[in-house]
Structure 1
Amino acid sequence: MPEMTEYRPGEPCWLDLASPDGAVSKRFYRELFGWSSYTLTQDAYGDYEVFTLGGPDGPTTAGLQMLADPDQPPTWTVFFRVDDVEETGSRVLAAGGQEVMPPMQGMHLGRVAMYTDPEGADFALWQPFGREGMEVLREPGAMCWVELASRDIEGARRFYGEVFGWRPVDYEYYRSAPYTNWEIHGDHVGGMVFMDERWPPHWVAHWIPYFWVTDCDATVWRAADLGARVTIPPTDIKPGRLATLADPTDARFAVITPDLTFEG
């Protein structure tokens, strides 16, 4: 499989799962996607689990750490590549976002900071010192898409345009409402779906990762057997067959079997 060695500013480059039970999360994703993992240990930061594809020495796919605050919900956080964490963080605040974790050293690997957008969707910034991010992308068992669920589409378009320079482009993937693709220089970096009245009213705006699987239905059945909750059952849309789930700790994610003939 080709390995990713470089990401451009504004592209999603890493995923981090904050879990209240690391053992449960590690077992679930290892069994669901066939991941392996290894542990990074530094006294100042605590243990950090790194998931890999194709064995412990395989390319990295995501990270896992314990929730710092037990009152916070388990969540997958999407990291976006930037050239300067402080400068991009200033744009986040100027555009109406909130700082969750100020810029800091991410061990010896880079600089990191965490924010929420004006609706409360959390995300992170990553300025690498050599380690760009996920070493495998858009392959079975790896991340292939990130998506923002928002109730304020126009506000999100403005915010992320000001922060990352993204251009929103609407596509008719669903019958009910247009779907927004975020683009940089004509390349897709993620998407946005409108949270209409069919969404649970207590759900706040959020980012989720999509993982490529070869059989959406079989993966969903397997996930349910492993303790996941299905929030959207396998559904056909133009880009492929997808489903959304909450893992055994209630962190949300999606799986998709892409339609490789689709162009959009």
Structure 2
Amino acid sequence: MPEVTAPYKPGTPCWVDLMTSDQQAALDFYRDLFGWQGEIGPPEFGGYAMCLLNGRPVAGIMARTAPEGQPEPPVSWTTYLASDDVEATGSAIADAGGAILYPAMDVGTVGRMLVAADPTGAVFGVWQKVDFIGAGIVNEPGALVWNELNTGDTDAAGSFYHRAVGLRPATIQGMDGYFSLNVGDRTVGGMQPVPEYLAAGTPAHWMTYFSVDDTDSTVDALVRAGGSVVQPPFDMQSGRMAVVQDPQGAVFAVIASPDSP
């Protein structure tokens, strides 16, 4: 089991969470789909639910809220990038042309965070650990396995993330138009133009991928539970994947790698 115990290097995707309209329904849905265990948290943390897989944290689920007079944010998954200093990262984001949506704030004693948008419009979070490093299991069925930026301008986005958080884009042989995102010599994510299979006008965004044992059976279970299919299962270089939507509208991907159990 690939448990994570050391802090994530700055720029590495380290956590994902879901903002949704019905928190309990989402907890039930992902429990049945991925085997997660979680419950609505205490009011002082806004009810934030920490979801566990085999006793280790894998994702968060929270009810969406909006400041008074503002529209509610969309139901969506958010990718968080690790930072050693969230304030310094926020300044770098602004200097590189990004926008700070929620300034740096303390999250109890577990860490500090902010939420920003890159110059192409993709929203992401930044996480500075104190007591909590992020996902405690990755690359296992039911856990986070990949984070991918879909954007309308890969040149602008690649330059921004390199300057702001140290993510270096690189071309991938045999995958025209697709870029790896790297921290040092390690690939930690991907970037591509917004895929054609997504609805026309889909804005730039970070896509969350979860590992599964069997893509087709997972998609079947999702549909039976009220979810829908955006892109049916298909084979690609890294395995068999599908893009799906949960019953409340959050889009994510599932993938079974060739070496999955």
Fold match by TM threshold 0.5 = yes
Residue 97 of structure 1 is matched in structure 2 by 98
8 Å CA contact retained: 2:109, 2:131:
no
Aligned-pair CA distance for 1:71: 2.8
Q: In the alignment, is residue 128 of structure 1 matched against residue 119 of structure 2?
A: no
Contact 2:181 2:190 in 1 (8 A): yes
Deviation (angstroms), 1:40 = 3.2
Mapped pair 1:64 → 2:61: yes
Counterpart contact for 1:238–1:259, Cα < 8 Å:
no
**Aligned-residue offset at 1:48:** 1.1
Q: 1:224 to 1:130 in 2, by over 3 A?
A: same
Distance in 2, Cα, partners of 1:206 & 1:2: 27
Deviations 1:216-255 (A, max 9, x none): 0000111111111111110100110000011111111100
Deviation at 1:199, TM superposition (A): 3.9
Q: Sequence identity, in percent? A: 38
- Aligned-partner Cα distance in 2 for 1:164–1:172: 24
User: In 2, are the aligned partners of 1:173 and 1:239 still within 8 Å (CA)?
Assistant: no
The Cα shift of 1:179 comes to 1.1
Within 2, Cα distance between the matches of 1:37 and 1:230?
25
Q: Secondary structure at the match of 2:38?
A: strand
The alpha carbon displacement at 1:194 in A equals 1.1
Gaps of 5+ in 2: none
User: Would you say the 8 A contact 1:182–1:190 is kept in 2?
Assistant: yes
2:52 corresponds in structure 1 to: 52
Cα contact 1:173–1:238 (8 A) shared by 2? no
Could you tell which deviates more after superposition, 109-118 or 65-74? 65-74
Any stretches of 5+ residues in structure 1 without a counterpart? Answer: none
> TM-score, length-normalised on structure 1?
0.92
> Which residue in 1 is equivalent to 2:221?
222
Matched residue, 2:182: 183
Q: Indicate the residue corresponding to 1:243 in structure 2.
A: 242
Contact 1:173 1:237 (8 Å CA) reproduced: no
Instruction: Write the letter of the residue equivalent to 2:58.
Output: T
Aligned counterparts, 1:194-233, within 5 A: 194-195=193-194, 199-233=198-232
- Asked if the contact 2:2/2:140 (under 8 Å) is kept, the reply is no
Partner residue, 1:146: 147
Partner of 2:252: 253
Structure 2 residue identity aligned to 1:226: A
How far apart in 2 are the matches of 1:196 and 1:148? Answer: 11
Structure having the larger proportion of residues in strand: 1
- 1:169 alignment partner in structure 2: 170
Give the TM-score, by structure 2 length. 0.93
Query: In angstroms, what is the RMSD of aligned CA positions?
Result: 1.6
Q: CA deviation at 1:196?
A: 5.4
Check the 8 A contact 2:9/2:183 in 1, yes or no.
no
**What number of residue pairs does the alignment pair up?**
255
- In the other structure, the counterpart of 2:31 is 30
User: Post-superposition shift, 1:197?
Assistant: 5.2
Per-residue deviation, residues 80-121 of structure 1 (Å, max 9, x unmatched): 110000100011111111111010001110111000111211
Q: Which amino acid aligns with 2:14?
A: C
Q: Distance in 2 between matches of 1:199 and 1:14?
A: 24
Task: Sort the Cα spacing of 1:224 and 1:172 in 2 relative to 1 into closer, same or farther, 3 A.
Answer: farther
In structure 2, give the amino acid aligned to 1:59. Answer: R
